[in-house]
Structure formats: structure tokens, C-alpha cells
Structure 1
């Protein structure tokens, strides 16, 4: 895809690094290899490449699971996080999404006080709520919204909290595994997390303002919400509610997520919204890659993928182009 005019700006995308200083392993089903140490090398080469691009990315979207849950069992959570954050600091500013592996390693309070709280350290608009979500505008008429797909769930919440108890009840009704963070035998989204009604209301308000300002909005989080952009076991719990919310707002052009290491894509015909699920670094062989750079234009976004991540042209829905 050749573009004759320069982009308005660009940004990088990467997901599911899941670094750990341990030997290679496999996924739950023992069907895929996971390259725990090599994932750091792929992150390093991605940052090296972003640093020398002709149009250097304005920022990077890191879509969750930056370190692996095995770090917790090796008492290496903080050291692993420090290692990946040292690499991240060499490149453009990074906006961090929180995934399940962040919560395997840290409590929600610990994450809020860490460098993974890019809401706090970005200098961008801060909102007073108990979920990890914020938005920023890197250029006029463009807005990026990071949302918390583990706002509801048993991960990260204290056992005495209302959200934990409500989530535990939901999971026990849908998942027969003793380890509730392991997918049920018949794959479904119940072992993941979801969005509270408070967060959905907050997002509705953000998008309503974006509609009025005629902004083009990209939403970033860890869990996908469109069944045709991922496998069923990767979906957020209440994905239909999030989809309905997107369908009610004309400003949204793209929804980006991770979690499903195979990646995926679907354009919703009802809205024109592009649902892009990023391939995971952790299951990417050492001789390949899994990151991208997105070039933003008046009428489209162009994804230049590397390795497993393919190139895509994402035209804005009718009425938002130009």
C-alpha cells in the first residue's frame, strides 16, 4: 500500500509480549510454543525499528500482558517488569493497557502506583473513577480511548469487594474448572473479564462528546468484543453491551485488542468499525515478528505489519472521512 501524501501522524502497536526469564514453554492446551525470553528480543527490535522510522511514531499502544504470569511463581514479577520497562523507555511514549497477566503478577492497587499506569504518567486527561481508563488526543479531530476489560472479574480485586463477589458468582455459574482463570472445556469468554456499568456509562459520555466534535476515535483494550475478530474464549464477558455502545456512536473508527495470540480482524457492516486483534509476541518464533506501525490520514489508517502482523488499510466509516 503506497501513500503519496505524508501521514498526519503515526503510532506503534504491540501486544502480549509476556516476557519471563524462563525456558520456552507452551499454552494451556500444549498446542503452541511460547518463547518467554525471546519475546524481550522481539520487543527490543520493534523499539529499535520505531526509533529509526522516517515518520517516528508519536506514541505506542501496548495492548496488555507485557510480562507473563510465571514471573509470579518465580518471585520475579518486579524484576521482569523493570526489564521490559527499561526497553520501553528507549522508544516513543507508551500507553499501557492492562491484561490478565498484569493481574496474575500484581494487585490493582500495585498497578495503579506503577509505571504501567500510563493514565497517571502521561500527563493526559485524568478521570475520577475506580477503573483504569482514560483518553487523549494526539492531533486535532483524533481521540484514543484506553478502557479496562478487567474492570469486572476476579483478577486484581480484593476478595471482599463487590466487584470480586459479583464476578466470582458469574464465573462459577459458567466455568466448571477448579482454576477459574483456565478456559472452560467448551470455550467461552467466562474466564476473562468485562466492563462495569459505570465504565460503560463513562465511555458513552466520552464518545458522545467525540460525536459532537466530529472526532475519529480508536479504542484500545486487552479483550476483543467482536466474535468474528477472535476466538470465543478470548471475548470480554459482556461484549454484546460494548458492541451496542459502539453502534450508537458514529465517532468510533477502530477497536484494537490483544489476548488472542493468533490475531484477527473484522469490519462490522452495521457501523463500519474495524475490529483489529493483534497477534501475540509471546507465540512468535525467533525468526519472525509481531508488531506494527499505523499511519493516520484524513480518510483512513494504514497498518504496516511486521512478521505475523499483516498490512491493512482501514477506511473510516462513511461520514468521518475527509
Structure 2
């Protein structure tokens, strides 16, 4: 159930958030002219102002939901410098545009974003488990021409295209079977530890007909709906934003920061025992989700 933020705050007045997280989606910075509603160069200033605001709040961490850059490996350096001003730890999930670099540079992207060999991982924060997914593992953009993994992804995409699935687009991607197995183990471990779960990924999985969805979104939703301790799945990718509720879990697609010349979009998610509260800034709406 989604209620107005003001109503929820008054109802829960006096309680304290168990976890507070800054959320940034799709800055998609590049030093180039705007195209349509995407103002790539302006993202640097918007990001700087967002970080200054986030530093005014008591946060535990900040998560960027993919597409830190739009293209060109040289775009990483100026945008990552802005993150150094953050007063709390920050983490990135991989997005499709993060691999809009030369084939020779693609393998360097995860390390550049502070990720190790395992580009999906989890963290425990008291009664919460945070799961960071890598929705780019199965993709046609992450690997260079001639790479077997790219050929396998193309075969997967061809099947989706033949089935006329809305999510069957080359700018979308999916999880590997290995990552699915790992996720199942993480969900089970969280349940045994009596932890609620937040998942972060670049690509959405709901609503079902979104053309930006993860290639294997139906399989992921089927897995998550078996676990009633999953509180929310948080993502970017669709710059317009979106929201769905399914089997008690909330699926929130945050708006892209790169959109529009002046208006920004980012948020703070606060986790309480009985609800999640999203404080939206700029174009991002505020929500309270029981």
C-alpha cells in the first residue's frame, strides 16, 4: 500500500529509520550537446548539487542505479570525482551505457566503478540485507565482438525477438543462471537471519509490459514472489520512472537525472520496521510504502 508521505510520517512520528540510503539513477554524463530531453553535460552540475544535499542528511550509504555515463571512457573521471565529496560510502550497479566504450575498455568498467571480480554482491545492515544485482551480465553490449558471451546473449535476445517480447531490445539485458543461483542463496540466508531485503539493479522487472525490462524479468519476479521478506526492488534505466506493487513487495523505477536541462531527480530511501519512505527531490516523487 502506498500512502502520502505526510500521513505516514505523522502516523510513525517518533520512530527512527533503521537504514537511510541516498539514491541516484542515470546521471548519464558525457561532455556533449543535449539530444532530445537528455542534457548530458548538465548532469555534472546536477550531481554536484545532489551530493551537497545528500551530505546534509544522516545517511548510511548512497547507491547509483547504473548509467553513470552516457558514452566514452573519459567520461568516468570527471563524474567519479564528484562522488569523492560524499561523506558516506557509495556503491554502483552496472548499466548499459556504462559499457558504451571501446571493446578494449569494456573489461575495465567494473573496476573503475569500484566493483571487484564479483559484480553482484550483498551487504548486511542490522535487520536489512542489501542485494546488488548485475543486470548486464547477459548482454550484447558488455563484451567485445567475437566474445562467446556476446554470442550467447545474442541467441537469447533472438528468442525474445521471435516471441515479440517487449523487453527484447539490445539495450536491455539479463542475469546469468549462476547469478540466479547466488540470489536464491542470498534470499534464503536473509530469511534465516530474519532480515528484510532490498534489491538494487539497473533494469526494471515490473510493470510487466515495460519495454525497458530485464530480459529474464518474469523469472526474477517468480523468484522474488516466493520470499515475503523482500521489501523492495529499486532500479533505474527507464528515465520516465515507474512503480508497481506485487505480492507485498514494491518495485520502484527511479527517474533519470539526465532528463531535462534544469530539473534534477534523486531520492532518499528510509527503511522503518513497518514501511519504506522515499523522499523525492526534483522530478522524483515522494512515496510511503507499507
Task: Decide: shared fold, TM above 0.5.
Answer: yes
1:99 is matched with which residue? Answer: 95
Deviation track 1:271-310 (CA, whole Å, cap 9, x = no partner) reads 2010000000111330x22000112211111100011111
**1:16 touches 1:64 (CA, 8 Å); kept in 2?**
yes
Distance, in Å, in 2 between the alignment partners of 1:159 and 1:38 is 32
1:257 is matched with which residue? Answer: 235
Structure possessing the higher relative contact order (Cα contacts under 8 Å, 6 or more residues apart): 2
Distance, in Å, in 1 between the alignment partners of 2:18 and 2:165 is 45
Aligned match for 2:114, one of 110, 113, 117: 117
Matched, 1:86 2:81: yes
2:168 is matched with which residue? Answer: 189
Q: 1:186 to 1:243 in 2, by over 3 A?
A: closer
**1:304 touches 1:311 (CA, 8 Å); kept in 2?**
yes
Matched residues, number: 275
Distance, in Å, in 1 between the alignment partners of 2:189 and 2:146 is 36
SS of the residue 1:208 aligns to: helix
SS of the residue 2:156 aligns to: helix
Distance, in Å, in 1 between the alignment partners of 2:224 and 2:178 is 16
Matched, 1:153 2:113: no
CA RMSD, 1 decimal: 2.0
Q: 1:191-206 residue pairs with structure 2 within 5 A?
A: 191=170, 192-206=172-186
In terms of mean alpha carbon deviation, does 4-13 or 209-218 score higher? 4-13
Q: TM-score, normalised by structure 2?
A: 0.89
Structure 2: 5+ residue stretches without partners: 1-5
Deviation track 1:47-88 (CA, whole Å, cap 9, x = no partner) reads 0001112xx21111100001112xx3xxxx22x211111111
Aligned match for 1:283, one of 252, 259, 271: 259
Matched, 1:6 2:2: no
Q: TM-score, normalised by structure 1?
A: 0.80
Matched, 1:312 2:287: yes
1:68 is matched with which residue? Answer: 70
